[in-house]
Each structure stands twice: as structure tokens, then as C-alpha cells.
Amino acid sequence: MSAETPSGLLEVHNQETLPPQEIIDLFKVAFGNELYGTDALDELQSQIQKVKTDLYNRDYISAFNSEEKRVSYCCRWSPSRATAYASLFAHFKEIVQVVQCHECDQKILCVGGGAGGELVALASLFTPSREFSNKYSTSRPSSSPKKSLNIHVVDISDWSVVVDKLQRTIQERWLYAGEAQHFRVQFSHNDILQMSEDRLALSELNLITLLFTTNELFAENKQQSIRLLQKFNQFCSPGCYLLITESAGSYSHITVGTKKFPIQFLIDTILLGKKGQDSAGPWQLVHQNDSIWYRCDPKIDYPMKLENSRIFYRLYKKI
């Protein structure tokens, strides 16, 4: 059974995560030259306008086809996304348990997460949970071996420079040296639709995130996007979670045969099975909300505008 969230607002700061200002400060440190260098902000704004034009035209490949465009996108939009994602992740006890698990290593796949929002949000949820390993914890040190969070970011554009900068800043600013080795990030510059289940290690995953990505995947290749979801059905292990998020009301429609359906209807059919059938699908819908807001704290200090988000989400569990 699915559970509807009664509130129409995500918390500005969920206590499971680092404060929003510290999340924003991480971007200010990682991209200080671009945000605060002499004449750098003018060049950044110029690149942002180019990205905006490409995104308006839904030309996602062109939007991220240069290092300058990718860095400008990260500086402009990823801080807002990171604070929203941090609150969203912490909103679900299931995801908190995955990220903060102390019993075993955990593996997360972030599809289309190259711009860094998911990475920073996961780090902001991971950091406060580590015993005696960072400045945010007052816990006594544990004698048991530390477990690791392994994050695999896959993106069709080459975000390796952005991911590397963010990862290094996370390890330097949020984790002590002994703890940094337990926050592991791998970036794959690849088309997720072309990758095998073995390359993605689907059977080993605890969480998959598809945040503001499904529309782009279906726009790229409808049939291969359907096959990707079918791979999740076939190869993900019981207990794995799948989080899908898009802008509320932004889901496009897809034509199957002679009929047109909202993409979310098709996704539900693939993951949950057809309604009315005796046999359930391979996934269970745990939480859903068709419209929930994340509103940024207006007091946050950042040299660029921070965006509020109205999102649609669904959290599934493999059964």
C-alpha cells in the first residue's frame, strides 16, 4: 500500500542533515573561483543564459556540452537542488536508514546525477551520523569497523570535474581524514540506457535515484527507457529502494500503440503491474506525493538566486 504525505511542504532543515547554509557553503568553497573571482560572475552569467536557452529547447545534450556550461549549471542550480534533495531524502526513514546504516556497506546509484545535487545531499545526510568522526558529532568512538557509503553517479555528460571538486570538498570540509575513506564516489561518463546490469551492479544496490531525469531519458529513447525499468524489475534485489522525482505537473505524455499516457502511469504499470491483475508487480509503492514544495530559507547567503521547488515524488521498494 502507498502512503500519502499529508503536508504540502518539506522541512527547510531536517535535523538528520547538515543545515542548509552549510550545504550552500560547500558550493561556495568548491567553486569559489567561479563565484568570486575577478570578472568571473559576468562570464558565469553568460554561460548560464546559454544553458537556459538549451534547456528551454529541451536540448539536454547541448545544455551540458562544455565544461563552462556544466560548471555554470552547477553553480546556478545545484545548490538549490542539494538543499531540497537533502530535505527530501531525510523525509523518508527508509532512505535515512540506507545512508546512515552502520551494519553493512551500502550502495547507491544516482542516474543523471552529474550536476552534484544528489551527491551533496547524500553527504549532508551521511556526515552527521558518523560516530566521533566529524565536528558535528559528540558520540563516543565505536570499536566496530566503520561501514562505507558507495555512490555511483552515472551521467551521459562528462561531469567528472564537477563531481571531483564536490567530492574533495566534502571530504576536506565535512569529514575527517579517517572517515573520508568511507564516503566513496564513482562517476561514470556513460549513457545509462546502454549500460549492462553488471556494470550498474543492480543486484547489489540499496537505493536508486532518478531525480529530474525520467523525462530526459524518455525523450532520449522511449523503448530503451522502458527496458531500463524492466532491468530494475529483473535484477534489483528485494529491499532495494527506487526514488523518482520530477517537477510537479511536468511529466510529459508517451504514445504506446494508438494511445497516449502520462509517463508516470507507464512507470507504475512497469514497476507495479497492471491494476486488476491477481499477481502483484515486482515493486511496492511506499510513498507518493503529486505536489510538495521545498522553499529555501530566504536568509541563506549565496551570490546567485536560490530556487524553490514544487516536486512530484514516488518511492518504490523491491519485493
pLDDT of 176 above 90: no
pTM, rounded to two decimals: 0.92
DSSP state of 9: B
- Taking the C-alpha atoms of residue 240 and residue 318, their distance in angstroms, rounded to an integer, is 5
Neighbours of 97 (CB within 10 A): 14
Catalogue all structural domains in the chain, each as residue range(s) with its CATH number: 3-29+79-318 (3.40.50.150)
Neighbours of 243 (CB within 10 A): 24
- Taking the C-alpha atoms of residue 317 and residue 239, their distance in angstroms, rounded to an integer, is 6
**Beta strand pairing call for 106-111 and 3-4:** unpaired
Backbone φ/ψ region at 20: left (φ over 0), alpha (ψ -120 to 50), beta: alpha
**pLDDT tens digits, residue range 41-88?**
888 999 999 999 999 898 888 999 999 999 999 999 999 999 999 999
Q: Which residues of 9-20 are buried (b: 16+ CB within 10 A; e: fewer)?
A: ebebbbebbbbb
User: Among 116-120, 175-179, 250-254, which is the least confidently predicted range?
Assistant: 250-254
Letter for the amino acid at 78? S
pLDDT confidence of residue 249: 81
Q: How confident is the model at residue 183 (pLDDT cuts 50, 70, 90)?
A: very high
Residue 134 backbone dihedrals phi, psi, to 5 degrees: -150, 170
**pLDDT tens digits, residue range 134-162?**
444 444 445 566 799 999 999 999 999 99
Q: How confident is the model at residue 190 (pLDDT cuts 50, 70, 90)?
A: very high
- Any residues with CB less than 8 A from the CB of 49 and at least 6 apart, and which? none
pLDDT confidence of residue 141: 45
**Bridge partners (DSSP) listed for residue 268:** none
**pLDDT tens digits, residue range 12-22?**
999 999 999 99
Q: Which helix (H) or strand (E) holds 151?
A: strand 149-155
**Average pLDDT of span 231-243:** 98
pLDDT of 5 above 50: no
Which residue shows C-alpha cell 568571473? 40
**pLDDT tens digits, residue range 207-225?**
999 999 998 898 889 999 9
Percent of the chain with pLDDT over 90: 75
User: Among 77-86, 246-255, 284-293, 303-312, which is the least confidently predicted range?
Assistant: 246-255
Residue 298 CB-half CA count within 13 A: 0
**Average pLDDT of span 26-41:** 91
